[in-house]
Amino acid sequence: MTTNKNKTVLYAGATNAIERRLNEHHYRIYPNTFTKRYNYYVLIYFEECEEVNNAFVRERQLKSWRRKKKEELINASNTNGEDIELVSSSSE
């Protein structure tokens, strides 16, 4: 899940390349998207799935939740709601 710098909005999405997708959000690559309009680029929560279908099922589930439930999920692992720094596997 991502949010904007003021943490006023939450966005849930699925991707097979999280670093690329975050860069697309941060640099506003796609001009007519919801994420560009609301400046979603702060990663505050993520899960990994082995199967792509499971990822899309989970995405739909998260999108159906009310904000309070999403915040509880986020706070369980990221109590300060800080931007999560990803460690690139290509930097070894």
pLDDT tens for 27-68 read: 888 878 777 777 777 899 999 999 999 999 999 999 999 999
pTM: 0.80
Q: Across the chain, what does the average pLDDT equal?
A: 85
The range of the structural domain enclosing residue 79 comes to 2-85
**91 pLDDT above the threshold of 70:** no
- Find all residues with CB under 8 Å of 41, minimum gap 6, and list them: 2, 4, 22, 25, 26, 35
Residue 91 maps to a domain: no
Residue 30 maps to a domain: yes
**88 pLDDT above the threshold of 70:** no
Residue 92 maps to a domain: no
Residue 70 maps to a domain: yes
Residue 37 maps to a domain: yes
Q: Is the dihedral of CA 26, 27, 33, 36 positive or negative?
A: positive
The number of distinct structural domains making up the chain is 1
